[in-house]
Amino acid sequence: MCDLDTPPAWNSRPTICVSISQYLKLQDGSLIKLDMDRGLTSFWHGNPNTPGKWHQTADKAIQELLTIVKADVPNQVDFPWEEYVKAATQRGIDIDEAKLRALPYQVTFSDALMKAYGF
């Protein structure tokens, strides 16, 4: 799940901050947070009054966010499955890497972030 976050207080430039939280969705629809939060901050260079300055395609935004999620994985070709298993196990969920790999991975943007990105 990706949402707008609060920019650092010290920053005076136009900035967009995005928080990335990862969850497991259970069969009953409830979400279990894995506490493996990530995020990104982008600064605007140039005229801060430029309309649509944060706009990008959904595909580009998803790829950027997946790169951040995969940052600790060699060559960024896969997800940190071992970390996911460990986080799920700590929350009382009995699951192994093979089962996790079989689950769909979905990127969800908040309404506020979709508006900022222009999609």
Which two three-digit tokens encode residue 101?
A: 């790999």
Whole-angstrom Cα distance, residue 21 to residue 54?
21
What is the pTM (predicted TM-score) of this model?
0.79
Whole-angstrom Cα distance, residue 104 to residue 107?
10
pLDDT, tens only, 70-108: 887 777 778 889 889 999 999 999 999 999 999 998 999
pLDDT, tens only, 41-76: 887 766 666 655 778 888 999 998 898 888 877 777
Q: Residue 49 has what pLDDT?
A: 66
Query: CB burial class (10 A; 0-12, 13-18, 19+) of residue 2?
Result: buried
